[in-house]
Structure 1
Amino acid sequence: MAPSSQDEAIARLTTMLRRMGAASALHSQAVAKRVGLSSVDLECLDMILLAGPVTAGQIMEHTKLTSGAVTGLIDRLARKGYVERAADPHDRRKVIVRIVPAAIRPLQQQFAPMAERSAALMRQYSPEELELIAGFVEKGTALALERASELEGG
């Protein structure tokens, strides 16, 4: 039985998503190398940037790193000046980790060419098409995070 056009489209999209994921990882790795960070540290820094100020516990929850690994991560990022620790105004036992905006700007400039090229690509699509794509990516991201949690035993 020949595959349906939907099966063929799914196979093509699956291949393209895998290639995109690998290309994104390679781009991120190249930026990390250029700024003297490990890929993991850069990804964790991005998570902090996206999430806003976070506690060490929230970093552990998002990354599945151990307490000691998170402390090391925060120490490395703080030494480079990308983040700072601050007392949690609601619970003095907790420490908030937040981005240092001035320090992060040069790092963001490393991503600017890719962001500009991506924006140019996205401008080729209608707002309705972009909403469809965004919805797909959002749902796909949720699936990936769910599966990662399953693999971690959660």
Structure 2
Amino acid sequence: MTDTAPALPQQRGQELPPAPVSPTVSVPEPTPDTDLAKLMTAFRVLQMQHARVLHHESHTRSLNATDTRFVFFLAAADGQGVTPKQAGEYLELTTGAMTSLIDRLEKRAHIERRPNPEDRRSILIHLTPSGAEVAKGIGAVYTSAFREVIAPDDRAQLAAAFDRLGTALDRHSRAVHDQATVAGLVP
């Protein structure tokens, strides 16, 4: 069998020509924002720990996380009460799921239904002393953690940052929902 491949210049005793040189093109590399990356990682860890605390504290009180979120929502209403529709929108629950939630927490004596003085066809949901104790007990876990790690002088600034972040996330969520609605993906 004979080799029929052409002989390279080097094999014939000649030098190879120099390889062509690519032009130097300067493409700026995106500089990673390491502080932002650290912040995102810390936020994810915080979310995970929050979910664990919420689950554990709810389970200890024979509640689920949605029950507890509703109790906190009512606690934030400062005794004003909320309509089932308002609570359902906040918790993103259907009317049926909201009714089941209200029935469940009312049976446990954590909430009560009261007539709505502004609309006789409607009711307002209020915390009972038992529900307020649930909110206070679980809230104490978070209060203790914040007190432990956030200096008093930094609390107002952090609260303002949380408010701005919440507003930005809400704005983004609404924009995505609006786009999905226009595209016919959600009712």
With normalisation by structure 2, the TM-score equals 0.70
1:94 to 119, 122, 138: 122
Aligned to 1:60: 88
Aligned to 1:22: 48
User: Structure 1 residues 72 and 149 mapped into 2: Cα distance closer, same or farther (>3 Å)?
Assistant: farther
How far apart are residue 29 of structure 1 and its match? 0.5
- Does residue 101 of structure 2 align to residue 73 of structure 1? yes
* Separation (CA, whole Å) in 2 of partners of 1:102 and 1:43: 15
Question: Identity of counterpart residues, as a percentage?
Answer: 21
Aligned to 2:66: 40
* Separation (CA, whole Å) in 2 of partners of 1:141 and 1:150: 14
Which ranges in structure 2 are unaligned for 5 or more consecutive residues?
1-28, 182-187
Aligned to 2:6: none
How far apart are residue 2 of structure 1 and its match? 6.4
How many residues matched?
149
How far apart are residue 106 of structure 1 and its match? 4.9
* Secondary structure, aligned partner of 2:56: helix
How far apart are residue 104 of structure 1 and its match? 2.7
Aligned to 2:23: none
How far apart are residue 48 of structure 1 and its match? 1.7
User: Structure 1 residues 79 and 132 mapped into 2: Cα distance closer, same or farther (>3 Å)?
Assistant: same
How far apart are residue 107 of structure 1 and its match? 5.2
**Greater displacement, 7-16 / 138-147:** 138-147
Report if aligned partners of 1:35, 1:107 keep a CA contact under 8 Å in 2: no
* Secondary structure, aligned partner of 1:85: strand
How far apart are residue 143 of structure 1 and its match? 2.5
Aligned to 2:77: 51
2:160 to 135, 138, 146: 135
Note the aligned Cα RMSD (angstroms). Answer: 2.1
Higher Cα Rg, which structure: 2
Q: Deviations over 1:73-113 (max 9, x none)?
A: 10011111110000011111000000112443155224424
Which ranges in structure 1 are unaligned for 5 or more consecutive residues?
none
With normalisation by structure 1, the TM-score equals 0.84
